[in-house]
Structure 1
Amino acid sequence: MKNVLRFAALVLVLTAFNSDLSAQGNCFLDSDGKYYNLDGTPCTNTVATAVPFLRIVADARSGAMGDVGIGLSADPNAMHFNASKLVLAEEDLAVSATYTPWLRSLGLNDVYLAYLTGYKKLDDLQALGFGLRYFSLGSIQFTDVNGEPLVTGRPNEFEVALAYSRKLSDNFTAGLTGKFIYSNLAAGQQLDGGDVIEAGIAGAADVSFTYQKDLSSSSLEDSELTIGLALTNIGSKITYTRNIDRDFLPANFGMGAAWVMAFDDFNTLTIAADVNKLMVPTPCQGPDCATDTRNQQSPVSAMFSSFSDAPEGFSEEIKEFVYSVGLEYWYDQQFAVRAGYFNEHIQKGGRKYLTLGMGLKYNIFGLNFSYLVPTTNQRNPLDNTLRFSLLFDFGAFEPGS
């Protein structure tokens, strides 16, 4: 049974995330200009891409705050959200390691995401960051068309990232990240048409900016506002065969803000919010899809057109934005309690969940936990899963720390 579940997960990665495939074939256009299923419910039109593991939030701190992170105070996991924050980090050197079980609620124990990140501040104006993301689908028994076993494979994907962050002024920073992406889901296996599956390889870049400003308040000991903008996973397309048709990476537009309020030396509260949107073509709907060429666009062209290509127009484009909000309370910068909420429109995937978590910090060592609670009947790969992150702030070893 577990092998069947693993195979289903692999098929999901190989097909459901292919932007050429969609479930809109049974939808019809009504007189109001919108598409509906045959039962009269709004037609689902999910935006999908290849290598979706690049968008998984691994950091347990952000995972406990509704997946916000673009404007949060800088730590090594800024590599995923907004690398321009790295130069604003308090410590000169830090490393984080995260382990996220995947599909644990289905009884799979060897499907997981591991994430290792870190940074080093070169001086007060610049910093370097690195990231290694590894996603394992466990062990899968491949079979032929007759169901006879062939070989046992271990599908996996990884990303290697290097970032440079620099202060452009006292309040404004910029960051640039380069990425190498490798996706080996079923290399060496043969499709029904005779094509041999290969490992997919792609390159991408992130561009990010941060504005940080101290706010004056008579009722607060300290107050700070951080606003971030991040364009992530901008790069080449990817394919798993020699077919000329390639799939888009999950290029993403993200904007976020965080307001930190220090009430006194012991109590600090952060309120954060993020807005994200995939910058890839919206799947076509209607009778003209057979001749639609939007998936043949270049990645850069698709980024711009993705804000105006939804079949139902502007009202559908708004539905493609995903919203996250989160709260974080620290006591004496040693104990944290966190909560958040993630919301995605029902026609664009319908993911809605509450997140909870806590954090502990002592000297150079930090430990974060998060737990996800779905608020709909839709299953989530992180259902009933506790994930955790380890954080090491080596700057605490410095004299005077």
Structure 2
Amino acid sequence: MKKFILILILFSSIHLFAQSAGNTGLSFLKFGFGARNSAMGDVGNVVSNDLTALHYNPSRLSFTENNEVMFTHNSWIQDISSEMFGIKTYIFDLPVAVGFNITNISDLEVRQIPGEPVSKFDANYFYGSLSTAYKVDEDFSLGLTLKYLYEGLLNDESTGFGIDLGASYFLPFEGLALSAVVRNLGSMNELRNEATKLPSEFRIGSSYNFKLQDYKLDFIAAAEYQKYFDANDHLNFGFEISYDRLIAIRGGYQTNYESRNFTAGIGLLWGNLKFDYSYIPFSLGIGSGNLFSLGFKF
């Protein structure tokens, strides 16, 4: 219980301190890493059980012992595409993960007067991250992620740095876990006349994992509260049902978005190799999001 109270005090303090953030940009930092997490309502803060924790909550890196590598392709709406890559290993008994995100928005139009565009250009974004975690004891872990950020728009460029702080705690009740994280604290240099503000956010949630051994079934249910410091808050829910570590069916629901709510996906496992897919439908005729992930543990 003391650990639970410590997590709440720590992250509530950071949350209140950061409330002065203004309008934000760099929305690519909101994209999920790993189709499994996206299919489950983007509740990776509480369910990431692989190196995708480097994106959601670095403290969870200490709860898996394997070295890992993963690639994710994100085909988003409005000609937005992201490629994400991560690798994790252990150095001096500490998990260390490196992640990269390259995001491109193509064919943005330049207009000076109504009519045909004068020209077109691409917007390019990048981050490189370094994450680690420290296991205080068997049930409690703290984590840290440092990020280098880049954005390029037409002839303008900007760089900056970000930081994520996370904590995870396995409660005394078997299968029940609590996780909290503050993401994207930091700043950017000026882009022409003004610096872009990061989409800082706070998440706290819980997951419950239970098994039916006789039927080779594994169930995970999760829920979390998500608050962007300068935008609406959200409730995210997700579930996963897997059979004999071979196939998994996933679904999720997210509240307080104008054009999306349900998410879904599947996962296929073959030894240490896994493939995940998630589908995120949007309303208002703007298309859908499709994520594909391929991961390997060694």
Give the TM-score taking structure 1 as reference length: 0.64
Match of 1:324 in 2: 236
Runs of 4+ in 1 over 4 A off after TM superposition: 139-152
Q: Secondary structure at the match of 2:106?
A: coil
Q: Partners of 1:84 and 1:337 in 2: how far apart?
A: 26
Kindly, what percent of the aligned residue pairs are identical?
A: 26
Q: Partners of 2:281 and 2:187 in 1: how far apart?
A: 35
8 A contact 1:258–1:273 mirrored in 2: yes
Among 188, 191, 208, the alignment partner of 1:259 is: 208
Match of 2:168 in 1: 210
Q: Secondary structure at the match of 1:258?
A: strand
Match of 1:117 in 2: 86
Match of 2:8 in 1: none
* Mapped pair 1:67 → 2:38: no
CA change 1:48–1:323 in 2 (3 A) is farther
8 A contact 2:26–2:196 mirrored in 1: no
Letter in 1 for 2:167: F
Letter in 2 for 1:207: L
Match of 1:335 in 2: 247
Q: Partners of 1:62 and 1:162 in 2: how far apart?
A: 20
* Mapped pair 1:170 → 2:144: no
Q: Partners of 1:155 and 1:57 in 2: how far apart?
A: 19
8 A contact 2:207–2:220 mirrored in 1: yes
Among 224, 248, 267, the alignment partner of 2:197 is: 248
Q: Partners of 1:363 and 1:61 in 2: how far apart?
A: 17
What is the CA distance between 1:257 and its match in structure 2? 1.4
Q: Output the aligned Cα RMSD.
A: 2.3
Letter in 1 for 2:24: T
More strand by share: 2
Match of 1:98 in 2: 72
Q: Partners of 2:239 and 2:259 in 1: how far apart?
A: 20
Q: Partners of 2:128 and 2:140 in 1: how far apart?
A: 27
Q: Secondary structure at the match of 1:180?
A: strand
What is the CA distance between 1:385 and its match in structure 2? 4.1
Q: Partners of 2:72 and 2:48 in 1: how far apart?
A: 18
Q: Deviations over 1:361-397 (max 9, x none)?
A: 11121000111234xx4455xx344321111111xxx
> Structure 1: 5+ residue runs without aligned partners?
1-46, 188-197, 216-222, 283-319, 395-401
CA change 1:182–1:363 in 2 (3 A) is same
> Structure 2: 5+ residue runs without aligned partners?
1-21
Paired positions, count: 276
CA change 1:163–1:333 in 2 (3 A) is same
What is the CA distance between 1:239 and its match in structure 2? 3.0
8 A contact 1:70–1:254 mirrored in 2: yes
Q: Partners of 2:289 and 2:171 in 1: how far apart?
A: 37
What is the CA distance between 1:357 and its match in structure 2? 0.8
Q: Deviations over 1:173-207 (max 9, x none)?
A: 011111010000222xxxxxxxxxx2121111011
Q: Partners of 2:44 and 2:195 in 1: how far apart?
A: 30
* Mapped pair 1:353 → 2:261: yes
8 A contact 1:268–1:329 mirrored in 2: yes
Letter in 1 for 2:58: A
Q: Secondary structure at the match of 2:45?
A: coil
Among 10, 27, 31, the alignment partner of 1:52 is: 27
CA change 1:273–1:225 in 2 (3 A) is same
8 A contact 1:129–1:164 mirrored in 2: yes
CA change 1:333–1:213 in 2 (3 A) is farther
Letter in 2 for 1:102: W
Q: Partners of 1:359 and 1:233 in 2: how far apart?
A: 29
What is the CA distance between 1:351 and its match in structure 2? 4.3
Match of 2:3 in 1: none
Letter in 1 for 2:270: Y
Match of 2:99 in 1: 131
Deviates more, 1:151-160 or 1:253-262: 151-160
8 A contact 1:253–1:278 mirrored in 2: yes
Match of 2:52 in 1: 77
Q: Deviations over 1:96-132 (max 9, x none)?
A: 11111122xx6x4xx3111112211336x52101110
8 A contact 2:183–2:200 mirrored in 1: yes
Letter in 2 for 1:100: N
Q: Partners of 1:132 and 1:226 in 2: how far apart?
A: 28
